[in-house]
Amino acid sequence: MKAMYSTGAALLLASAAAQPVQAHDGHVQDLTTEQQIAINIYQDIIAFRTARGHQQVPAMVSYLTAWLKGEGFADEDVMVTNYDSDGEPTQGLVVRYRGDGSSGKKPLVLLAHMDVVDALPEDWERPPFKLIIEDDYFFGRGTLDNKYGVMNLTQTFLRLKREGWTPNRDLYLVFSGDEETGMISTRAQAKWVAENVDPEFVLNSDAGGLALADDYTPMAMRVQAAEKTFATWELTITNPGGHSSRPRSDNAIYELADALTRVRDHKFPVRATALTRSYFAALGQSVPGDLGAAMRTFADEPENSEAIAMLQSNPETVGTVGTTCIATMLRAGHAENALPQSATATVNCRIFPGVGAAATEAKLKEVVGNDNVAFNLITDVTESPESQLRDDVRAALATSLLARFGKEIPIIPYMESGGTDGMHYRTLGYDAVAISGAGSRPQDMFAHGLNERMYVDAFLNGLDHWVIMLKELAGD
Ligand SMILES: [Zn+2]
């Protein structure tokens, strides 16, 4: 066993809670000071259980604040705000890196979230809130989502400050405290940013990133440029009920079952945008067989019925060609010998950008065709438009990739079926694309799940990502 880093003066600030990460195979050696600081921060912030119910976000904010102020960020430029996230106290952190204004350009805002989905130690193979290095991977909750992003953006600010670099426009880190749950802090921060910063655009660390091949070579740089709208309805039938020995002709369970069968059989209209077509065109180059052929065909002719059928039959692609709605939960009846007085199904939809929740509900009602079915929207819906991958951001990304890998890597914008902080900025009219510096193979994607991990080489390689991006976008 070998301690991975020495404790230089710069590391002492962070080392109170830290236990050294052990490298069993000596994989990580001869680290630069910047790499040591990055690993140190990563290790320390993963130790904060920033999941809902544990109230550790404020402690993590204090930790990050100490680093930033220690590197010379002024008190008034390190702003901490308290939020009540549906009864859970949390915090947000905003850090301003003052530019000299010489570019005359509006500020840039950089996003990450400090909270994580909880992880139960008894279910994990290793303790989830302790950074562990094993088999060339870092393991721990948040190693990918999104403490890598928090660490990466923070160490970038620290490093640029230490270099004495002054940007030609203001830069802001905006870290939210409840992205995985209520997004109360995100909404408030987005509003604050719009009113007080009004950035030219927003870059998010919480999605996108390098797609790695089985042998870890970089295949593509994914750029999250749009998110589907998440909306959930409860569909309820009520009925007078009665004794099950005297069945009525109408029955809440049968009526609900009929409604769900119709939802199952309905296919929402196929949608294609410039973004989804270019996504399929690019991905279709590397996906083998009929699926890859369907992607390429759809990119050229989005009305091709065979290509549509193939893409709709695949769980990995169905979400990119239109709105989907699917039954996810069911409850009905109150006794085995009574007619049901109510039956309720939960139907979760991922709505294609631009369609809207209201139009989707209207369509579902039409499909169900039964006025006895009550629809109750139970989601606080945020609808967000597609963002542009701006030419300046694309060019900066290409520079970063070329510098880090010595070759060109295809840049592929895509639409996400999940949700990130970025949607709240898109809703307010800002272009927000997610371009994580991390990289991952599909089989190593364990965000929100068990045994979340990050490949050590991808970790180290990504440390230069934001430094290069910011020098391109805010340097001379
Ligand atoms: Zn996330």
Per-residue pLDDT of 139-163, as tens digits, reads 999 999 999 999 999 999 999 999 9
Instruction: Say which range, 150-154, 213-217, 319-323, 462-466, has the weakest mean pLDDT.
Output: 213-217
What's the 146 CA to ligand 1 centre distance in angstroms? 5
Burial 58-71 (b: 16+ CB within 10 A, else e): bbbbebbbebbeeb
Are the CB atoms for 237 and 259 separated by under 8 Å? Answer: yes
DSSP state of 346: E
Give the pLDDT score at 20: 44
How many angstroms is it from 419 CA to the middle of ligand 1? Answer: 8
Name the percent of the chain lying above pLDDT 90.
Answer: 86
CA–centroid distance, 251 to ligand 1, in Å, is 43
If pLDDT is split at 50, 70 and 90, which confidence band does 463 have?
A: very high
Indicate the helix (H) or strand (E) that contains 416: strand 411-416
Cα 450 to ligand 1 centroid, rounded to whole Å: 15
Which residues are found with C-beta within 5 Å of the ion, ligand 1? Answer: 145-146, 206
| Per-residue pLDDT at 22 exceeds 80 | no
pLDDT exceeds 80 at position 27: no
Q: Give the rounded percent of residues in the chain with a pLDDT score beyond 70.
A: 94
Res 66 pLDDT > 90: yes
Q: What tokens appear for 270 in the block?
A: 């196929």
Q: Which pLDDT score, from 0 to 100, does residue 286 have?
A: 82
In the reported structure, the alpha carbon of residue 221 is separated from the centroid of ligand 1 by a whole-number distance in angstroms of: 18
Query: Residue 146: is the preceding peptide bond cis (ω within 30°)?
Result: yes
Give the 3-state secondary structure percentages of the chain, helix then strand then coil, rounded to 5.
35, 20, 40
User: Strand 229-238 to strand 374-377: parallel, antiparallel, or no bridges (unpaired)?
Assistant: antiparallel
Rounded to a whole number, what is the largest CA-CA distance in the chain?
83
Measured in Å, residue 172 CA sits from the centre of ligand 1 at 19
Q: Mention every residue, 6+ apart, whose C-beta is less than 8 A from residue 348.
A: 230, 231, 232, 325, 326, 328
**Cα(461) to centroid of ligand 1, in Å?**
20
* Protein fold of 229-377: Alpha-Beta Plaits (3.30.70)
User: How many angstroms does the Cα of residue 61 sit away from the middle of ligand 1?
Assistant: 17
Six-digit token pair at 247?
A: 């069945």
Q: Is 44 within 8 Å of 63 (Cβ atoms)?
A: yes
Kindly give the distance from the C-alpha atom of residue 327 to the centroid of ligand 1, in angstroms, as a whole number. Answer: 25
| Short-list 433, 339, 340, CA closest to 385 | 433
State how far the Cα of 129 lies from the Cα of 120, in Å rounded to an integer.
Answer: 10
Average pLDDT score, the chain = 92
Mean pLDDT of all residues in 453-466: 96
Give the list of residues 6+ apart from residue 295 with CB closer than 8 angstroms, or none. 280, 281, 283, 284, 287, 307, 311, 317
How many angstroms is it from 113 CA to the middle of ligand 1?
7
Asked if 349 and 362 count as a contact pair (C-beta separation under 8 A), the reply is no
Residue 394's pLDDT is: 97
Task: Give residue 258's pLDDT.
Answer: 98
Judged on CB neighbours under 10 Å (0-12, 13-18, 19+), 317 is buried
Nearest C-alpha neighbor of 125 from the set 447, 452, 442: 452
The band of 29, judged by pLDDT with boundaries at 50, 70 and 90, is low
User: What homologous superfamily is domain 9-207+420-474 in, according to CATH?
Assistant: Zn peptidases (3.40.630.10)
Q: Which residues contact 163 (CB under 8 A, 6 or more apart)?
A: none
CA of 54 to the centre of ligand 1 (A): 18
The tokens for 117 are 């989905």
Q: Classify residue 329 by burial, with Cβ atoms within 10 Å: 0-12, 13-18, 19+.
A: exposed
Q: Output the pLDDT for position 222.
A: 95
Task: Show me where the domains of the chain are located.
Answer: 9-207+420-474, 229-377
Q: How far, in Å, is the centroid of ligand 1 from the Cα of 449?
A: 12
Bridge partners for 233 per DSSP: 347, 377
Which residue has 């799940």 as its token pair?
449
Q: How far is the CA of 114 from the centre of ligand 1 (A)?
A: 9
| pLDDT value at residue 8 | 32
Tell me if domain 9-207+420-474 and domain 229-377 are identical in fold: no
Rounded to the nearest whole angstrom, what is the distance from the C-alpha of residue 447 to the centroid of ligand 1? 8
Give residue 103's pLDDT: 97
Distance 420 CA to ligand 1 centre (A): 6
Q: How many CA atoms lie within 13 A of 175 on its CB side?
A: 31
- How big is the CA angle at 139 (ends 135 and 143), to the nearest 5 degrees? 130
pLDDT range class, residue 369, cuts 50, 70, 90 = very high
pLDDT in tens, 219-276: 999 999 999 999 999 999 999 999 999 999 999 999 999 999 999 999 999 999 999 9
- With 0-12 / 13-18 / 19 or more C-beta atoms within 10 angstroms meaning exposed / middle / buried, residue 185 is buried
Q: 24 with 133: CB under 8 angstroms? A: yes
Beta-carbon contacts of residue 215 (< 8 Å; ≥ 6 apart):
none
Ligand 1 centroid to residue 462 C-alpha, Å: 17
CA–centroid distance, residue 43 to ligand 1 (Å): 18
Cα 445 to averaged position of ligand 1 atoms, centre (Å): 12
How many CB atoms within 10 Å of residue 215? 6
Residue 355: half-sphere exposure toward Cβ, Cα within 13 Å = 27
What mean pLDDT comes out for the span 385-390? 93
- The token pair at 15 is 């080392």
pLDDT at site 316: 85
